[in-house]
Amino acid sequence: MLLYILRRLVLLVPILLGLTLLLFIVARILPGDPVGLAAGPNATPELIAQMKREFGLDQPLPLQYWNYLTGLVSGDWGMSVFTRRPVFADILEYLPATIELVFASLFIAVVAGIPLGLLTAVYKNGPLDYATRTLALGGIAMPRFFLGLLLQMAFAAWLDILPLSGRYPLIESPPDHVTGLYTIDALIAGDWSAFQIALSHLALPAIAMALSPLATIMRMMRSSTIEVLQQDYVMTERALGLSNRLILFKYVLKNAMTSTLTVIGLYVSWLLGGTVLVETVFDWPGLGLYATQAILTQDFMPVIGVTLVIAIIYLVAMLVVDLLYGVFNPKVRYA
Amino acid sequence: MTMTPIAIPKRTQSARLENWSRAFYRFRQSWLSIVGLAIVVLLVVIAIFAPWIVPYPEHVVGGTNTAARFQAPSTDAWFGTNALGQDMFSLVLVGSQVSLFSGLAVVFIAIVVGTAVGAIAGYFGGWVDEVLMRITDLLLTIPSLILAMAVAAALGTGVWNMIIAISITWWPAYARLVRGEVIVKKEEQFVVAAHALGANWLRILGKHILPNIVSPIVIKASLDMGFAILTVASLGFVGIGVKPPTPEWGTLLSGARSYMPDYWWTAVAPGIAIFLAVLAFNLLGDGLRDVLDPKARR
């Protein structure tokens, strides 16, 4: 098992190498002049040449790539032309906000989606089934940014029970930095009111992002549970007189989980990439906002950095999913 | 000696027609598919005729009427007016053009590129397959929205630049799909027979293999249309893609953000338009899947 994890981690190296090369090529093929944009319209050619030297953009491309690669390993992910700060420091600053948002929405989607999927499979074609299936159809078609705007309108403007945007009130200082996730940090510090403030800011963006994965997880769980319920062993268990609850939670749930797990793993990447939209709506200071700003100023080092981070998290998430298969299905062997 | 006539069952329809009517019967079984089809047809009709049927055609090409800013929905302006006094109803109707056209173009380009790459990788195997599929896999690990945004921003504004940017992130999924199908089909007897008759690879792929894997591609394409429209609107929403005065749903929605919640109608109309279009294509896609791949039905 440990050997399997190690081997998978080693296999990540060539994938990441390929990824950096691909991103580097894409970034350099594309037209666009970040230095020109950053230097402003009145910049002299000398200033632009000096800035190019400063950022190493005057060197030949293969050398630039080599420098970038060696830098990556030592934590030097290049400089942002726009913020004039190291990309790695920027990413470390913005990453916790995004992680908090992604895991909060994934939590909502899993905690609500799996029981709902189970229930609708057991009470197939009942009123709850029709209600949730309609909701699921709508949930997948609903644009996250529009849902976010509607939530803002309903809960922040009209009902006025949740904050409109942001992560924490500007006039107050967030809980002491431990993990960077405000809700977790507040709990660690034992500060109940800070936890409530952080949670109230987190609620709307997390719900806006959770609807689509919730709908998909529910549909997936429903169909795989229906499939498992028709298996022979379920009939045998029924014949042996086991209670419905025992059959459902001890035997069916585990078997229905495997295909749902894949979907959950895929959603980690979808959510990370999709935070761009929700973070824009809620002014959530995460990677998505950072990437959007970098893209709009054609500042490609941060874009490569953010993409790389998201790709690494995605690849690790897929590894975790593969490992979890073994928990739910002991037939899966790691060799 | 007289011949006894053999009773041949009378066919009222040709075989092909019968197939079609059976397919339509299966499609009709779900009223949701019919609803999807109806909305899609309506959208296409609106997109084609929008410039002639909107009540304020001058607003669609950039004309403003600042005397009538932020009018609430009324019989005059069904969806109200925006910050420039433009009629939201006219803008939303014409906005369907960009969304439908870009969605179709993205899916079409993705099918052409993805099918070519996937077919060649699957047919030749070996190192060709390795190289093409590793590139495909790499592109699949990159968050597609961020890549599309970056490429679109670098190429500059414009419908075609946006379409190209989204297509770059879209074809790998088709390449994977087609490769898998080609690998299965190339072992079939009829392919071996075509080989034996001396057909070259282009003929085998184009005449014998690809026509047999059309339905999975069509299924995926119809399910993808809604998602493509959603991506186009997303790019518009973050401020990349089509620039005003060309009306586009995502851009309209993003422009309305600063006037929420007081002038809610400026956001609700384009938002619902995106929602309806995506929903309709999803429903239609589900219906087509039921027809083309009855086994997948649950």
Per-residue pLDDT of B194-234, as tens digits, reads 888 888 888 888 888 888 888 888 888 888 898 899 999 98
DSSP conformation class of A143: -
The pLDDT confidence band at residue B294, using thresholds 50, 70 and 90, is low
Q: Which domain holds residue B167?
A: 85-296
| Per-residue pLDDT at B143 exceeds 50 | yes
The larger pLDDT score, comparing residue A106 to residue B85, is at A106
Distance from the Cα of A55 to chain B's closest Cα (Å) equals 19
User: Measured between beta carbons, which residues in chain A are less than 8 angstroms from residue B145?
Assistant: 273-274, 276-277
User: Measured between beta carbons, which residues in chain B are less than 8 angstroms from residue A296?
Assistant: 153, 239-240
CA distance B141 to A11: 14
Nearest CA in chain A to B279: A141
Average pLDDT over chain B, rounded to an integer:
82
Give Dmax (Cα) for chain A. 86
3-state secondary structure of A179: coil
Contact B238 A303 (CB under 8 A): no
Could you give the percent of chain B with pLDDT greater than 90?
14
Residue B278 lies in a domain: yes
What residue type is B242 in one-letter code? V
Residue B252 lies in a domain: yes
Dihedral angle computed from the Cα positions of residues B275, B255, B102 and A264, in that order, rounded to the nearest 10 degrees: -50
| pLDDT tens column, A264-323 | 887 887 888 888 888 888 888 888 888 888 888 877 788 888 888 888 888 888 888 878
Interface contact B27, partner A, CB < 8 A: no
The residues facing B3 across adjacent strands are none
The CA-CA-CA angle for residues B285, B289, B292, to 5°, reads: 135
Contact B153 A295 (CB under 8 A): yes
The answer to whether B93 and B54 are in contact (CB under 8 A) is yes
Place of tokens 């670098």: B154
| Per-residue pLDDT at B236 exceeds 70 | yes
Contact A137 B261 (CB under 8 A): no
Contact A31 B239 (CB under 8 A): no
- Which secondary structure element, helix H or strand E, spans residue A194, and what is its range? helix A192-229
Residue B75 lies in a domain: no
User: Chains A, B: CB contacts under 8 A, how many?
Assistant: 127
Dihedral angle computed from the Cα positions of residues B284, B286, B287 and B292, in that order, rounded to the nearest 10 degrees: 120
Two tokens, residue A284: 């959530």
Residue B74 lies in a domain: no
Dihedral angle computed from the Cα positions of residues B256, B260, B261 and B266, in that order, rounded to the nearest 10 degrees: -10
The CA-CA-CA angle for residues A58, A64, A68, to 5°, reads: 135
Chain B 71-130, residues with CB within 8 Å of chain A CB atoms: none
The answer to whether A141 and B35 are in contact (CB under 8 A) is no
CA distance B150 to B169: 11
Residue B187 lies in a domain: yes
With 0-12 CB in 10 A as exposed, 13-18 as middle and 19+ as buried, what is B263? buried
Give Dmax (Cα) for chain B. 97
3-state secondary structure of B114: helix
Could you give the percent of chain B with pLDDT greater than 70?
90
Interface contact B156, partner A, CB < 8 A: yes
Contacts of A3 (CB under 8 A, 6+ apart): none
Contact A310 B143 (CB under 8 A): yes
CB atoms within 10 A of CB B298: 8
| Per-residue pLDDT at B169 exceeds 80 | yes
User: Measured between beta carbons, which residues in chain A are less than 8 angstroms from residue B138?
Assistant: 15, 18-19, 22
Nearest CA in chain B to A159: B261
Place of tokens 């961020």: B146
Contacts of A268 (CB under 8 A, 6+ apart): A102, A106, A313, A314, A317
Place of tokens 């669609």: B60
Helix and strand numbers (H, E) in chain B are: 12, 0
| pLDDT tens column, A140-191 | 888 888 898 888 888 877 887 788 777 777 777 777 777 777 777 777 777 7
Q: Name the pTM for this structure.
A: 0.84
Does CATH number 3.40.50.10130 belong to domain A89-298?
Answer: no
User: What pLDDT shows up at residue B298?
Assistant: 45
| Per-residue pLDDT at B50 exceeds 70 | yes
- We report the CATH number of the domain holding residue B111 as 1.10.3720.10
The larger pLDDT score, comparing residue B296 to residue A332, is at A332
Contact A149 B234 (CB under 8 A): no
What residue type is A276 in one-letter code? V
Contact B278 A298 (CB under 8 A): no
What residue type is A176 in one-letter code? D
Closest partner residue to A311 (CB to CB) among B134, B141, B237 is B141
Contact B260 A23 (CB under 8 A): no
| pLDDT tens column, A213-247 | 898 888 888 888 888 888 888 888 888 888 888 88
Contact A274 B145 (CB under 8 A): yes
Place of tokens 């921003």: B153
Nearest CA in chain B to A28: B154
The answer to whether A272 and A11 are in contact (CB under 8 A) is no
The residues facing B87 across adjacent strands are B81
Nearest CA in chain A to B139: A19
With 0-12 CB in 10 A as exposed, 13-18 as middle and 19+ as buried, what is A112? middle
The pLDDT confidence band at residue B73, using thresholds 50, 70 and 90, is confident
With 0-12 CB in 10 A as exposed, 13-18 as middle and 19+ as buried, what is B197? exposed
CA distance A254 to A268: 21
Contact A23 B142 (CB under 8 A): yes
CA distance B93 to B43: 9
**Number of structural domains in chain B:** 1
Which region holds residue A207: left if phi is over 0, alpha if psi is between -120 and 50, else beta?
alpha
User: What pLDDT shows up at residue B114?
Assistant: 93
Interface contact B283, partner A, CB < 8 A: yes
Radius of gyration over every alpha carbon of chain A, rounded to an integer in angstroms? 24
Residues recorded for chain B: 298
CA distance B205 to B194: 10
Closest partner residue to A18 (CB to CB) among B134, B151, B239 is B134
Per 3-state DSSP, chain B is made up of helix, strand and coil in percentages (nearest 5) of: 75, 0, 25
User: What pLDDT shows up at residue B161?
Assistant: 87
Contacts of B288 (CB under 8 A, 6+ apart): B27, B33, B218, B219, B222
The residues facing A79 across adjacent strands are A86
User: Measured between beta carbons, which residues in chain B are less than 8 angstroms from residue A311?
Assistant: 141-143
Closest partner residue to A22 (CB to CB) among B138, B143, B155 is B138
CA distance B144 to B135: 14
| pLDDT tens column, A62-121 | 777 887 788 777 777 777 777 778 888 888 888 888 888 998 999 999 999 888 888 888
User: Measured between beta carbons, which residues in chain B are less than 8 angstroms from residue A298?
Assistant: 153-154
User: What pLDDT shows up at residue B285?
Assistant: 86
User: Measured between beta carbons, which residues in chain A are less than 8 angstroms from residue B240?
Assistant: 295-296
Two tokens, residue B68: 């009538």
CA distance B107 to A291: 26
Contact A269 B146 (CB under 8 A): no
Radius of gyration over every alpha carbon of chain B, rounded to an integer in angstroms? 24
User: What pLDDT shows up at residue A263?
Assistant: 81
Angle between helices A253-282 and A87-122 (to 10 degrees): 130
| Per-residue pLDDT at A58 exceeds 50 | yes
Contact A30 B238 (CB under 8 A): no
Average pLDDT over chain A, rounded to an integer:
81
Q: Would you list the domain boundaries of chain A?
A: 89-298
Backbone angles phi and psi of A134, in degrees to 5: -60, -45
Closest partner residue to B153 (CB to CB) among A141, A298, A315 is A298
Chain B 232-271, residues with CB within 8 Å of chain A CB atoms: 233-234, 237-240, 250, 253, 257, 260-261, 264, 267, 271
Mutate to test the interface with B, among A16, A21, A146 (most CBs of B within 10 A): A146
CA distance A64 to B171: 29
What is the mean pLDDT of the segment spanning B14-32? 77
